Amino acid sequence: MNKVILVGNLTRDPELTETPNGVAVCRFAIAVSRDYANAEGNRETDFFNITVWRGRAENCGKYLKKGNKVAIVGSLQTRSYEDKDGIKRNVTDVIASEVEFLTPRNSQDGDDAPVSMRRERPQLEAIDDNQLPF
């Protein structure tokens, strides 16, 4: 099984491009704080490269910006390449299958993120103890 779930903040604005075949791809990075402190009492942060494809990529490119909080569900993918100095480099990316926008809509500078990309919270009605069935 190859599955990862991350919640973090974008470290830069997303980069939306297309493949030569016209498929949308969006790339960005998120910073995720660790749940525990190191020996000096500081919480360390990890940085992850995220890749999103197709319609979800277009929505991310349109509605996300640096600093936004997102939840990512996806899988890890590794690749290697040779840099300009001939040194072999290994890279691990998260290929996102789900992206949930967690920054409140009113923090989007007037942009209204689509409902399908946000989690709506139901409004609960106030009831008194006399209305309870038990």
Position with higher pLDDT, 122 vs 45:
45
Task: Round to whole Å and give the CA distance between 88 and 65.
Answer: 32
Beta-strand pair 43-53/88-101: parallel
Q: Tens of pLDDT along 41-100?
A: 899 999 999 999 999 999 999 999 999 999 999 999 999 999 999 999 999 999 999 999
What pLDDT is stored for residue 105 in this prediction? 74
Q: Structure pTM?
A: 0.75
Q: Which residues pair with 70 in a beta bridge?
A: 8, 101
User: What domains can be seen in the chain, in order of their start residue?
Assistant: 4-35+43-122 (2.40.50.140)
- What per-residue confidence (pLDDT) applies to 53? 97
Q: Check: CB of residue 40 under 8 Å from CB of residue 14.
A: no
Mean pLDDT of 5-34: 97
